[in-house]
A and B are shown apart, each in its own frame.
Chain A
Amino acid sequence: MMQTDNALEAAMDALLLADASALDGKDMKGWLANYSEEDESSYICRSAENSENGLALGFMYDDCRSRLEDRVTFVNDIWAGTFQDYRTRHFVQRVEYRRVDAATISMRSNFSVFMTPTDSGITQVLAAGQYLDTIRLEKTGALKLLSRRAELDTSVLPRYLVYPL
Chain B
Amino acid sequence: MTETGLTWPKNVNEIPKAAFTRKDIYAEEMKRIFFGQEWHPVAHESELPNPGDFKTFRLAGVPLLIARDMEGVVRVFYNACSHRGNQLETAVMGNKTEFECPYHRWLFDAKGDLVGCPNHRDFLPGFDKSDYPLAQPRFDSFFGLFFVTLSAETEPLPEFLGGSQNTLRELLGGDGRLKLLGYQKVRYDSNWKSYTDNDGYHAPLLHQAFKLLNWQGGKGRQFTSTKHGHICFESALSVVSGPTVLKDDSLIAFKGQDPAVGSRIVSLFPTFVSTKHLDVINLRFATPIDEETVEVHYAYFAHQDDDEDMVRHRLRQSSNLLGPCGLISMEDASIFHRIHIGNHTPGNAIFQKGVHDQSKLEAEFLQNDESGNLPRWEYYRSVMGFERAEA
Mark B residues whose CB is within 8 Å of A. Answer: 92-94, 180-189, 206, 208-209, 212, 245-248, 251, 295, 300, 315-316, 318-320, 323-325, 327, 330-331, 333-334, 337-338, 341
Indicate which residue in A61, A81, A159 contacts B316 across the interface (CB closer than 8 Å). A61
Indicate which residue in B180, B325, B341 contacts A161 across the interface (CB closer than 8 Å). B325
Report if A60-B325 is in contact (Cβ < 8 Å); known contacts: A55-B180, A79-B208, A156-B186: yes
Known: A47-B185, A55-B182. 16 other contacts (CB 8 A): A47-B183, A49-B93, A57-B182, A59-B324, A61-B316, A61-B319, A67-B251, A77-B212, A78-B212, A80-B208, A155-B92, A156-B295, A158-B186, A159-B324, A160-B334, A161-B325
In chain B, what residue has the closest Cβ to A155?
B185
For the side of the interface on A, what is the size category? 35 or more
Q: Is the CB of B247 within 8 A of A57?
A: no
The 9 nearest A-B residue pairs measured at CB = A57-B182, A55-B182, A61-B319, A160-B333, A66-B248, A66-B247, A161-B325, A82-B331, A160-B324
The reply on A50 being an interface residue by CB < 8 A is yes
Q: How far is the CA of A56 from the CA of B295 in the complex (A)?
A: 22
Q: Is the CB of B334 within 8 A of A83?
A: yes
The reply on A73 being an interface residue by CB < 8 A is yes
Q: How far is the CA of A57 from the CA of B248 in the complex (A)?
A: 18
Report if A77-B333 is in contact (Cβ < 8 Å); known contacts: A47-B185, A57-B181, A60-B325: no
Main secondary structure of the interface of B (DSSP, over half): mixed
Report if A157-B320 is in contact (Cβ < 8 Å); known contacts: A57-B183, A79-B330, A83-B331: no
Q: Which residues of chain B have C-beta atoms less than 8 A from A103's C-beta?
A: none
Mark A residues whose CB is within 8 Å of B. Answer: 45-47, 49-50, 53, 55-64, 66-67, 69-70, 73-74, 77-84, 119, 155-162
Q: Quick one: which of B187, B246, B325, B330 has the most chain A CB within 10 A?
A: B325
Q: Which residues of chain B have C-beta atoms less than 8 A from A64's C-beta?
A: 248
Q: Which residues of chain B have C-beta atoms less than 8 A from A77's C-beta?
A: 212, 245
Q: How far is the CA of A49 from the CA of B180 in the complex (A)?
A: 14
Q: Is the CB of B251 within 8 A of A70?
A: yes
Q: Is the CB of A49 within 8 A of B181?
A: no
Q: Is the CB of A157 within 8 A of B187?
A: yes
Q: Which residues of chain A have C-beta atoms less than 8 A from B320's C-beta?
A: 60-62, 67
Q: Which residues of chain A have C-beta atoms less than 8 A from B315's C-beta?
A: 56-57, 61
Distance of A85 from chain B, by nearest CB (Å): 10
22 contacts between A and B (CB under 8 A): A49-B93, A49-B183, A55-B180, A55-B181, A56-B315, A57-B181, A57-B184, A57-B300, A57-B319, A58-B182, A59-B319, A60-B319, A60-B325, A64-B248, A67-B247, A67-B251, A73-B245, A78-B209, A82-B208, A156-B185, A158-B186, A159-B186
